[in-house]
Amino acid sequence: DAGVTQSPTHLIKTRGQQVTLRCSPKSGHDTVSWYQQALGQGPQFIFQYYEEEERQRGNFPDRFSGHQFPNYSSELNVNALLLGDSALYLCASSYGTGNSEAFFGQGTRLTVV
């Protein structure tokens, strides 16, 4: 049983470009949350998707958008990349939106130059 998988593992982009990160949840999970972790910091919540809709959103600008597909996989899109967007992007999956155990992917390391 595959856990949470994220792709790509590493990515280098130029300032101003756009990027798409992907996440496949653990089998049986239907909720995907995205987090940004800057170096030396704890992860910060970006948003959560359930039933193909954004259910909750953290304090991130509209440049950060997402999507959830019918198979529960999800994408995180970031437009007009800034140097400060360089971070580890983590995806977590869970079942439902209540209190349940979450599983995390290995993350995508994004570097903006």
Partner 1 sequence: KNEVEQSPQNLTAQEGEFITINCSYSVGISALHWLQQHPGGGIVSLFMLSSGKKKHGRLIATINIQEKHSSLHITASHPRDSAVYICAVTRSGNQFYFGTGTSLTVIP
The site for partner 1 (CB under 8 A) is made up of: 31, 33, 35, 37, 40-45, 48, 55-56, 58, 88, 90, 92, 94, 96-107, 109
| Smallest distance, partner 1 to C-beta of residue 56, A | 5
Using a 10 angstrom Cβ sphere, with 0-12 exposed, 13-18 middle and 19 or more buried, the burial of residue 109 is middle
DSSP 8-class letter at 28: T
| Smallest distance, partner 1 to C-beta of residue 50, A | 9
| Smallest distance, partner 1 to C-beta of residue 58, A | 8
CA 90-46-39 angle, to 5 degrees, is: 50
Neighbours of 60 (CB within 10 A): 16
- 41 vs 79, which CB is nearer to partner 1? 41
User: Which residues, other chains included, contact 61 with Cβ-Cβ below 8 Å and sequence gap of 6+?
Assistant: none
- 20 vs 104, which CB is nearer to partner 1? 104
Q: What is the C-alpha to C-alpha distance for residues 45 and 61, in angstroms, rounded to an integer?
A: 12
- 5 vs 20, which CB is nearer to partner 1? 5
Q: What distance, in Å, lies between the first and last C-alpha atoms of the chain?
A: 37
| Smallest distance, partner 1 to C-beta of residue 38, A | 11
- 78 vs 110, which CB is nearer to partner 1? 110
